[in-house]
Structure 1
Amino acid sequence: MPRWRQATRTDLLLAITAGAPVAALSLYMAFVSMPVGRAAPLGLGVLIAHAALAARRTAPLASYGVVCVAFALQAAASGLFLILPSALVFPVAVYSLGVHAARRAAAPGLAVAAVAAVLAGLRFVADPSVTAAGLRPNPIPVCGLLLATVVAAWSFGLYRRTQLAYLALLEERTRQAATEQEERARRAVLDERTRIARDMHDVIAHSLSVILSQAKGGQFLVRTEPERAAEVLTTIENVGRLALTDTRGLLGILRSPEPGRVPAQGDSGENGARETREPQPGLRDLPQLLDRVRAAGLTISHHEEGSARRVSPGAELAVFRTVQESLTNTAKHAGPVARAEVRFNWTRDSLVVTVRDRGGRGGRSVDSQGTGLGLVGMRERITAVGGSLSAGLDGDGFLVTARLPYDVEKAA
Structure 2
Amino acid sequence: MRDPLAAPDLRRSSVAFDVVVAGLVGFVVAMSDAGTGPQTYIAGGLITVALAVRRVAPSAMMTAAVASAVVQVAMLQVTALSVMYAPMFFTAGGHPDRRVRRGSFGVAVVGSIVAGGILPHAYGDFALGDGDTVWGTAFGIVGSAVFVVGGWTAGFVGYQRRSVAAAEVSETIAELERRRMLDLYDEQSERSRLARDMHDVVAHSLAVVIAQAEGAKYTLAANPDAARDALGVIADTARDALADVRTVLEELRSTETVGEVSRADRDQLFARMRAAGMTIEATETGSADDTDAATVHVAHAVLTESLTNALKYGDLARPVRVAHDWTDGCRLTVGNTVAADPLAPGGARHGIIGMTERAAHVGGSLSSTRTDDGWLVVLTIPASEGPTR
Q: TM-score, normalised by structure 2?
A: 0.80
Correspondence for 2:200: 202
Residue number among 99, 102, 105 corresponding to 1:104 in the alignment: 99
What secondary structure sits across from 2:220 in the alignment?
helix
Residue deviations 1:121-177 (CA, integer Å, cap 9, x gap): 34332237879xx99762232123323543333333433333332222222222222
Gapped regions of structure 2 (runs ≥ 5):
1-5
What secondary structure sits across from 1:93 in the alignment?
helix
1:342 & 1:371 partners in 2: Cα distance? 24
2:218 & 2:353 partners in 1: Cα distance? 36
1:92 has 2:84 as partner = no
Residue deviations 1:36-64 (CA, integer Å, cap 9, x gap): 74564254234213202233xxx545433
- Equivalent residues in 2 for 1:72-91, closer than 5 Å: 72-73=70-71, 79-81=77-79, 84=80, 86-91=81-86
Deviation at 1:283, TM superposition (A): 4.4
Residue number among 206, 211, 229 corresponding to 2:209 in the alignment: 211
2:259 & 2:63 partners in 1: Cα distance? 73
Deviation at 1:213, TM superposition (A): 0.9
1:242 & 1:38 partners in 2: Cα distance? 102
Root mean square deviation, CA, Å:
3.7
Aligned length: 372
1:318 has 2:298 as partner = yes
Seq. identity, %: 27
Residue number among 267, 270, 273 corresponding to 1:287 in the alignment: 267
Amino acid at match of 1:294: R
Q: 1:187 to 1:51 in 2, by over 3 A?
A: same
Q: 1:196 to 1:364 in 2, by over 3 A?
A: farther
1:201 & 1:180 partners in 2: Cα distance? 31
Correspondence for 2:340: 363
2:107 & 2:254 partners in 1: Cα distance? 72
Amino acid at match of 1:12: V
Q: 1:152 to 1:203 in 2, by over 3 A?
A: same
Q: 1:216 to 1:387 in 2, by over 3 A?
A: same
Decide whether the 8 Å contact of 1:113 with 1:150 is kept in 2. Answer: yes
Decide whether the 8 Å contact of 1:343 with 1:355 is kept in 2. Answer: yes
1:173 & 1:50 partners in 2: Cα distance? 36
Q: 1:404 to 1:35 in 2, by over 3 A?
A: closer
Correspondence for 1:328: 308
What secondary structure sits across from 1:100 in the alignment?
coil
Amino acid at match of 2:53: A
Correspondence for 1:187: 185
Deviation at 1:319, TM superposition (A): 1.2
- The higher-RCO structure (CA 8 Å, 6+ apart) is 2
Bigger mean CA offset, 389-398 vs 202-211:
389-398
Deviation at 1:281, TM superposition (A): 6.8
Correspondence for 2:3: none
Residue number among 377, 384, 387 corresponding to 1:407 in the alignment: 384
What secondary structure sits across from 2:10 in the alignment?
helix
Gapped regions of structure 1 (runs ≥ 5):
254-259, 264-276
Q: TM-score, normalised by structure 1?
A: 0.76
What secondary structure sits across from 1:54 in the alignment?
coil
1:21 & 1:342 partners in 2: Cα distance? 95
